[in-house]
Amino acid sequence: MKELELKYLKSLSDLYPTIASASTEIINLQAILNLPKGTEHFLTDIHGEYEQFNHVLKNGSGSVRSKIDEEFGNTLSSKDKKSLATLIYYPQEKLEIVKQQEENIEDWYKITLHRLVQITKRAASKYTRSKVRKALPKDFAYIIEELITEKDEFQDKEAYYHEIIHTIIRIGRASEFIIALSHLIQRLVIDHLHIVGDVFDRGPGPHIILDTLRRYHSIDVQWGNHDIVWMGAASGHLACIANVVRMSARYGNLDTLEEGYGINLIPLATFAMDQYADVNCDAFSIKYNTDYNTKDLSLDMKMHKAISIIQFKLEGQLVLRRPEFGMQDRLLLDKINYEDKTILIDGKSYPIKDTDFPTVDPEKPYELTAEEQQLMERLRQAFARCEKLQEHVRFLYSKGSLYKMYNSNLLYHGCVPMEEDGSFSKVNVYGREYHGKALYDVLESYARKGYFATQDPGEMQKGQDIIWYIWSGPNSPVFGKDRMTTFERYFVSDKETHTERKNHYYRLYDQEETLNKILTEFGLDTEKSHIINGHVPVELKKGESPMKCGGKLLIIDGGFSKAYQSKTGIAGYTLVSNSHGMSLVAHEPFESMEAAIIKESDIFSDNIIVETSLFIKRVAETDIGAELKDRINQLEMLLDAYREGVLAEKGI
């Protein structure tokens, strides 16, 4: 036996000091390998729409309703099934209504508790008792375990269970028990959650969504372009901060910054009122929703213009500092002819709608004024000192990455940058060229340095600049376009200047050869693997399909964001992968949480079967299964070491 191997086995023997303990663990792990695979739930492009997100998370994209149908079949009416599902999704809120409406609340408690216990049993059946025990709510752990565990030693099991439920009701704990069971069912129905990018954007509640995700029992996140720019802002990168504030202003969503994160925007408001008091801000209208308070409209337009001009200056500085990014076409402030009110874009002159820029010096267009510098420093400090934002961003770094390989699936938000001929694009990152998986890896490495390399300011600056590049660079995997034409959309009427050409990936991704090339690049089996992709909404209205190449590529951005729903025709795709196969779920628009509770209006979801398995997929066929098999091999080596006398048992 090699010395290193022996050293490891000695360490393992601390955990399993005897033949008996090692044998027991082998038997336990071998049993787990034969359990059905846990259900995975994939969501993407949430864009701050927290009410719809919460509902889809609670119902597991129809997984809860499936458990109800499996358990009760035709023994419950559709109305009763809807009521039970709504109770599981929103137990506190639904109980308040039930208590006001039910004449005999005790009978209702008895019936409901029995039904919830049955659903809990079914949801728990694919897990070990140990795993279920860890998921149980502390206050009711013992009682729930008694109710969902078969007791062969009791002849009259029904009387035993009935007495437990009767006592729960008699001592006034029924409501709390119903809430606990409902939350437990939600947890057991989904084993692992994947968020394939873009928690942030124009919706009002990214902070609420991230609070929910931080509490979730098992999760990973693939960073989207809107996530990455917030991560850059939290790191203190001024161009990212300007982008975040500008977008919040543009979509009438400054409340997310001020109330959601407690970031003080008074310095920006004061600056805008002073510098832009009599300035034309017509090009900076606010795309607000029904919750927007229009009394703030004039000030918000001024703030919107003020931060936009600062953004264009800061981005210009960055492009000049990093010529290797290849973004010189974004240098537009120096292309303005103030006399004839035109701008030169790609060698062609266009009329410009607005040249009323009180803080721009035509001789030094990318230089911040002293007041702008002071404002940005105050905003930088506000972002850096925001405890909640820093917690959320650390969570994204901890649980997130630019891509993930999980159970033979490759997950990423945007694309793998490609050339017209299908070859991987070569991208210059600080003097070296990278492509394919290596490009993802180097960009992620620098993105982490941009937040964590506090002891090396030079590397940290390079990392933060890369974060901005990932947000809007021409070969960024999560952006996936040749340019971000923000400036043109504000100032130039001619729409040919607004064009953002998608990466060739989006033209090639319906070809099996392309997908196989990508899967091979990431070391995955081309016969068994899928690519799960977010970022670009699937326009169902135009006949687009979320499935490419017979399901080898699955695009699950159907438009959670209300702004996209008129274009897509639906309110988002999600994906569910369980022991029976894989299904895409197309959701109709979500009315409101209030309607879901009062009207019991679940989101109607249309299931599209991606693949089905003739045999139940077991844990043994998953990544966790591979880890367990490894552990079994190590434990068997430990057993051999004990039996051959290489190691002595301890504590006997």
Find the range with the poorest average confidence among 7-16, 493-502, 585-594. 585-594
173-179-185 Cα angle (round to 5): 130
Q: Is the pLDDT of residue 628 over 80?
A: yes
Q: Is the pLDDT of residue 558 over 70?
A: no
Q: Please name every residue paired with 364 in a beta bridge, in sequence order, or none if there are none.
A: 361
**Residue 42 is encoded by which pair of tokens?**
């994939």
- How far apart CA 10 and CA 14 sit, in angstroms, is 7
pLDDT confidence band for 615 (50 / 70 / 90): confident
DSSP structure string for 342-401: EEEETTEEEE-S----TT-BTTBTTPPPHHHHHHHHHHHHHHHT-HHHHHHHHHHHHHEE
Q: Is the pLDDT of residue 589 over 90?
A: no
Question: Any idea which residue has 């340019």 for tokens?
Answer: 483
Q: pLDDT tens, 423-477?
A: 999 999 999 999 999 999 999 999 999 999 999 999 999 999 999 999 999 999 9
Question: Any idea which residue has 């979509």 for tokens?
Answer: 251
* DSSP SS3 for 613: coil
Widest Cα–Cα separation across the chain: 96
Give the percent of the chain with pLDDT over 70.
Answer: 95
pLDDT at residue number 611: 78
Q: Which residue has the higher pLDDT, 586 or 379?
A: 379
pLDDT at residue number 544: 76
pLDDT confidence band for 397 (50 / 70 / 90): very high
- How far apart CA 112 and CA 346 sit, in angstroms, is 67
Over residues 300-326, the mean pLDDT reads 97
pLDDT confidence band for 586 (50 / 70 / 90): confident
Q: Is the pLDDT of residue 289 over 60?
A: yes
Q: Please name every residue paired with 403 in a beta bridge, in sequence order, or none if there are none.
A: 412
Domain chopping of the chain, boundaries: 3-35+621-643, 40-196+534-617
Strands 605-612 and 219-222: unpaired
- Other C-beta atoms within 10 Å of 317: how many? 15
Q: Which residue has the higher pLDDT, 152 or 401?
A: 401
pLDDT at residue number 546: 85
* Alpha carbon 333 to its chain's center: 35
pLDDT at residue number 429: 97
Residues 6+ apart with CB under 8 A from 191: 38, 39, 40, 218
pLDDT confidence band for 610 (50 / 70 / 90): confident
- How far apart CA 416 and CA 79 sit, in angstroms, is 47
pTM of the prediction?
A: 0.93
507-446-327 Cα angle (round to 5): 50
pLDDT at residue number 500: 96
pLDDT at residue number 603: 63
Mean pLDDT of the chain: 92
| Amino acid at position 551, single letter | G
pLDDT confidence band for 410 (50 / 70 / 90): very high
pLDDT confidence band for 543 (50 / 70 / 90): low
* DSSP SS3 for 224: coil
Q: Taking the chain, what is the end-to-end CA distance rounded to the nearest angstrom?
A: 25
Q: Please name every residue paired with 447 in a beta bridge, in sequence order, or none if there are none.
A: none
pLDDT at residue number 539: 64
- How far apart CA 342 and CA 350 sit, in angstroms, is 5
Q: Is the pLDDT of residue 298 over 70?
A: yes
pLDDT at residue number 254: 94
Residues 6+ apart with CB under 8 A from 384: 234, 236, 390
- How far apart CA 272 and CA 245 sit, in angstroms, is 13
Of the candidates 403, 473, 479, the one whose C-alpha atom is nearest the C-alpha of residue 239 is 473
pLDDT at residue number 563: 59
Q: Please name every residue paired with 605 in a beta bridge, in sequence order, or none if there are none.
A: 587
CA distances to 62, 230, 420, 543, 554 from 411, rounded to whole Å, are 22, 21, 23, 24, 10
* Alpha carbon 355 to its chain's center: 39
Give the percent of the chain with pLDDT over 90.
Answer: 81
pLDDT at residue number 30: 96
pLDDT at residue number 288: 78
Q: Exposure pattern of 331-355 as b/e (b: 16+ CB <10 Å)?
A: bbbebbeeeeebbebeeeebebebb
Sheet holding 192-195, edge to edge: 400-401, 219-222, 192-195, 40-43, 573-578, 581-587, 605-612
Q: Is the pLDDT of residue 630 over 70?
A: yes
415 in Cβ contact with 199 (< 8 Å): no
Of the candidates 94, 30, 216, 112, the one whose C-alpha atom is nearest the C-alpha of residue 593 is 94
* Alpha carbon 274 to its chain's center: 39
pLDDT at residue number 608: 75
pLDDT confidence band for 540 (50 / 70 / 90): low
- The DSSP code for 575 is E
Q: Which residue has the higher pLDDT, 95 or 542?
A: 95
The dihedrals phi and psi of 409, each to the nearest 5 degrees, come to: -110, 140
pLDDT at residue number 609: 74
Q: Give the start-end residues of each E strand in 219-330.
A: 219-222
pLDDT confidence band for 491 (50 / 70 / 90): very high
Q: pLDDT tens, 137-165?
A: 999 999 999 999 866 555 567 788 889 99
Strands 530-533 and 409-412: parallel
- Other C-beta atoms within 10 Å of 73: how many? 8
- How far apart CA 249 and CA 316 sit, in angstroms, is 21
84 in Cβ contact with 115 (< 8 Å): yes
Of the candidates 423, 421, 428, the one whose C-alpha atom is nearest the C-alpha of residue 446 is 428
**Residue 82 is encoded by which pair of tokens?**
């809807």
Residues 6+ apart with CB under 8 A from 368: 310, 313, 314, 359, 376
pLDDT at residue number 564: 56
* DSSP SS3 for 452: helix
pLDDT confidence band for 614 (50 / 70 / 90): confident
SS3 assignment for 486-553: HHHHHHCCCHHHHCCCECCHHHHCCCHHHHHHHHHHCCCCCCCCEEEECCCCCCHHHCCCCEEHHHCE
543-547-552 Cα angle (round to 5): 155
Q: Is the pLDDT of residue 641 over 90?
A: yes
pLDDT at residue number 159: 84
